[in-house]
Copies of this chain bind each other. A is one copy, B any other.
Amino acid sequence: MRVAATLNQTFHALSDASRRRMLERLADGPASVSELAAPLPMTLAAVVQHVQVLETGGLVTSRKRGRVRTCALRDDALAGAERWLGDRRTAWQRRLDRLGDVLDATADATATADETAET
């Protein structure tokens, strides 16, 4: 049993749209690999690989019964990810509430050589 999915693996698993679609599908109940594959524009083999990523990310379990592999969400799936996000959010929410936007403030005061690094 894969118990120790790292945050790295979990977030990585979540960073792909196809995999998120599969998770959304699974939220409606367990599904076979082919069922997961059906709406996706890729081969079965590719989907199997995605399932593996989801498993090492600790998001999904699967079990093979006859020739069908059935996948289901793990109950504790998002625990780690959500915990981390939650911790950070409250931490910096507090901070941001408190001292607002240091950047904008200082920028205002002495606005000279400015450059916002955004594309």
Of B16, B65, B92, B101, the residue contacting A107 (CB under 8 A) is: B65
Contact B30 A61, beta carbon cutoff 8 Å: no
A24, B95: Cα distance in complex, Å: 12
- Which chain B residue lies CB-closest to A17? B8
A82, B73: Cα distance in complex, Å: 18
What is the interface of chain A mostly: helix, strand, loop, or mixed?
Answer: helix
Residue A77 interfacial (CB < 8 Å)? yes
Identify the A interface with B (CB < 8 A). Answer: 1-2, 7-9, 11-12, 14-17, 20, 23-24, 26-30, 51-52, 55-56, 61-66, 69-70, 72-73, 75, 77-78, 81-82, 84-86, 88-89, 91-93, 95-96, 99, 101-103, 106-107, 110, 113-119
